Amino acid sequence: MTAAGGAALDAFLGLVADKGFAAVALRDVAQAAGLGFADLYRLYPDKVALVAAFMARVDAEVLAGTPSQSDPEETARDRLFDTMMRRYDALRPHKAALRAIRRGARRDPMLALALAPALRRSMAAMLEAAGVPSDGLAGALRQSGLLALHYAVSRVFDQDETSDLSKTMAALDGRLKSAEKWSQLFDKYVKTPDPKRPPPGAESPVA
C-alpha cells in the first residue's frame, strides 16, 4: 500500500468512526487525507474499495504473525483460535469504525452484498493461516462457518473492554469447540461408506 493509500484509509476510518458510514463521502476522505479527489478516486473508486482495503490490511497484519512452522502438538482448532485472536487484536483499535460499517451494511443490503467477497477472502485467509484448506466445496462451507462464527464472536468483541480480551477469547473458544464437534460429525457422515452402494468405480465400464 502506498503512503497516499494508507493516509486515505486512515482518514476514512477516522471519519466513519466519527460520522457513520453513510454520512461520509469520498470527497470528505480526499480532503481529510490531503489528496485531490482524482488522486483518491484512482486509489479507491468507492467506499466499498476502502473497506476492502481495510480488511486486506488487517489480513496482512494477522498473516504476518503466522508461524512459519506448525507445532505438531497443536490441533486445527488451536491454530484457528490463535489466528482469530490475532485478528481481534488487529481490529481492536478500529472498533468504532467497525461498528459504523456494520450498521451501514445492516441498513443497506446492497452494501452488505458488495462487501461479501472481501469478507469471504478474509475468512479464507484465516483458514489457510491456520492450516485448514479453504478451497473447493468443503472450503466454501468452512468459510461460511467461520464467517458465522466471526459474526457471533464480534458481538462479544464489540463490548469487550478487558485488557486481554478475555471475554472475546472465551466466546471464540466456546464457538470453536461447538464447530469442531459439528465438523467431526460431518466428516464421519460423509466418510462412512453406504453399505447399500458398491464402492466407487465398481460399476464403471472403464474400471
The answer on 91 and 7 residing in a single domain is no
The answer on 60 and 32 residing in a single domain is no
**What was the pLDDT predicted at 188?**
54
The answer on 64 and 37 residing in a single domain is no
Residue that is written with C-alpha cell 456494520 in the block: 102
Is the pTM higher than 0.85? no
What Rg, from alpha-carbon coordinates, does the chain have? Answer: 21
Residue 162 is assigned to a structural domain of this protein: yes
The answer on 172 and 98 residing in a single domain is yes
Q: What is the pLDDT of residues 16-28, one digit of tens each?
A: 999 999 999 999 9
Residue 89 is assigned to a structural domain of this protein: yes
The answer on 15 and 97 residing in a single domain is no
36 φ, ψ (degrees, to nearest 5): -70, 150
CA–CA–CA angle 175, 177, 180 (5° rounding): 110
How many whole angstroms separate alpha carbon 3 and alpha carbon 133?
34
Q: What is the mean pLDDT of each run of 10 residues along the chain (207 residues)?
A: 92 97 97 97 96 96 90 90 96 95 94 94 95 92 93 94 96 90 55 49 39
How many whole angstroms separate alpha carbon 204 and alpha carbon 23?
62
Number of domains present in the structure of the chain: 2
How many whole angstroms separate alpha carbon 169 and alpha carbon 178?
14
User: Residue 50 is which amino acid?
Assistant: L
**What was the pLDDT predicted at 54?**
96
The answer on 165 and 110 residing in a single domain is yes
Residue 196 is assigned to a structural domain of this protein: no
Residue 206 is assigned to a structural domain of this protein: no
**How does DSSP classify residue 194?**
P
Range of the domain at 110: 46-188
The answer on 182 and 165 residing in a single domain is yes
Residue 197 is assigned to a structural domain of this protein: no
**What was the pLDDT predicted at 179?**
81
In the chain, the largest separation of any two C-alpha atoms, in whole Å, equals 70
The answer on 165 and 76 residing in a single domain is yes
Residue 11 is part of a domain; what is its CATH number? 1.10.10.60
**What was the pLDDT predicted at 180?**
75
How many whole angstroms separate alpha carbon 122 and alpha carbon 144?
11
